[in-house]
Structure 1
Amino acid sequence: MEELYKFITEQYFLPFYLIVWLVAVARYRTFFDTPLKYHPIYLMYTFLTELLGYLVKHTDEFQFFSEKKYDWHNVIIFNIYSVIAFSFFFYIYWKVLKSRKHKKWVVYGTIISMLSYVVSLFFQDPLHMNLYYADLIASMILLFDISLYVKEKKSEEGAYPVKHNLMFWTTLGLAVFHAIFPYLFLIAYEAPEVWAQYQLREVLKVLIVFMYGTFMIGALLGKRNAFR
């Protein structure tokens, strides 16, 4: 019982992922035919990735490496996750944007982002280190895509309040998270003493909860006709 309590208090965002997924599935009828129709799959993938990462780090049965100093390393899971997650959201904004010029920019940004991960493989070991420079580039490109979406939305007249637009809540969560998260990783690897001193891991967890919280609010309040 004590071990379960410790798990829940330290890894509180894990069950939260599952709750957000359940809400998204329950409200799937409000966005099943939108560009976010694969969002529940992404949410479940996130949950399973985090769960596997926890098991690799804390149990012997799921470890990838036999060497004692590496047996807790789970970073390869999250490097793969980053590539898939960024690709998913690049696709979302490519689908949502209306301007052909903006769509082309999203494609160019996606290519640059994926190339940054390939280049990072020559300078960083993806088995033992986050590809944080590539993450930074991908986050900046995603923020650029978000700015294109916001620009298009401002020029439109909507009949529905923005609070009923799932895409609005998704964009809000992504914008706040990706404006901060890559710099936290930079600090973690380039200035680990600062990371530890200011407990920035907790800041990262709060950002995660905020982002997925906006996803859940969007699913709860979203209406099909208000999606854009």
Structure 2
Amino acid sequence: MDTILENASQPLYALTLLVALIKYPKYYSTPLKYFPILLMYTFLTELLGYFTKNYEVFHISIFSAFVKHNVFIYNIYNLVFFSYFFYVYWNYIENKKYKNYILLIGIFYLTASLINPFFQNFKLESQVYSYLAGAFAILICIVLFFLEHRHSSKKLDYRFTGIKWISIGLLIFYLGYAPIKASRFYNYTYQLNEYVHIRRIHLSLIALMYISFIIGFLRMKRKFWI
């Protein structure tokens, strides 16, 4: 089981990207139109992170002083990832009050991202505070999205099928992983051992998220945005 989980992420990234590209005509005119680019960026980031950590030939000069601490590329990735989904939800949600909430939590996340490097080295350390702020902000966006459409099941079956399943995947992942991220930071700070099953849970959450993404793309029906 551990072997499957450890090796499932990269194929899932690739499969999700493939399905997203095949289904692109279904959502090219929606706010999700840049999602395949994000998926490609995710796939390349994971590959770069893996190779720079495990193979000396890929030790790019910018990483030469901290090859085993290649969080730099992930810190940049998180900025792009969270900012993209703020854009997506701000465009999908029509309620002006909710849109203002998204704007405020987006500012909150960017502020946390600017402050975090004063407490943790951006090149050497994972930006835990800004990550948790981003996870919290994305969860709020998801809640607002479902609140707006809680009485619109027919709409969700057509115009919002893709974003509904993407939201479910993100909800599963961040509800599960945000506490893991916080506990890992706590364990690192106080030099405590990590619970043996944490890695398995983390990888399972990734798998569930991308399976939800794939379901969303496969269930898309319409190719227009009103």
TM > 0.5 between the two?
Answer: yes
CA displacement, residues 131-187 of structure 1 (integer Å, 9 cap, x when unaligned): 111111111111111111111101336267479711110110111111121221121
Partner residue, 1:3: none
Match of 2:13 among 17, 23, 26: 17
Tell me, yes or no, if structure 1 residue 59 matches structure 2 residue 55.
yes
Q: Which moved more, 1:73-82 or 1:125-134?
A: 125-134
Counterpart selection for 1:166 from 158, 162, 168? 162
Contact preservation (8 Å) 2:14, 2:43: yes
1:101 counterpart (97, 101, 108): 97
Specify whether residues 107 and 194 from structure 1 end up closer, same or farther in structure 2 by C-alpha distance, changes over 3 A only. Answer: same
Show the 5 A alignment for 1:74-153: 74-153=70-149
Matching residue within 150, 157, 160 for 1:154: 150
Any gaps of 5 or more consecutive residues in structure 2? none
Q: Whole-Å Cα distance in 1 between the matches of residues 182 and 121 of structure 2?
A: 15
The change in CA–CA distance for 1:72 and 1:35 in structure 2 (over 3 A counts) is: same
CA contact (8 A) 1:120 1:133 kept: yes
1:220 paired to 2:218: yes
Look up the equivalent residue of 1:45 and give its one-letter code.
Answer: Y
Determine if the alignment matches structure 1 residue 44 to structure 2 residue 40: yes
Q: Deviation string for 1:28-60 (max 9, x for gaps)? A: 111111110111111111000000000110111
What is the aligned residue count?
Answer: 221
Counterpart code for 2:84: F
Aligned-residue offset at 1:11 = 3.2
Q: Secondary structure in 1 aligned to 2:184?
A: helix
2:5–2:204 CA contact under 8 A, matched in 1: no
> Comparing 119-128 with 183-192, which one deviates more in the overlay?
183-192
Output the CA distance in 1 between the equivalents of 2:139 and 2:48: 28
Which has the higher mean CA deviation after the structures are superposed, 96-105 or 155-164? 155-164
Classify the secondary structure of the residue corresponding to 1:140. helix
- Structure 1 window deviating more from structure 2 (122-131 vs 161-170): it is 161-170
Aligned-residue Cα RMSD (Å) equals 2.5
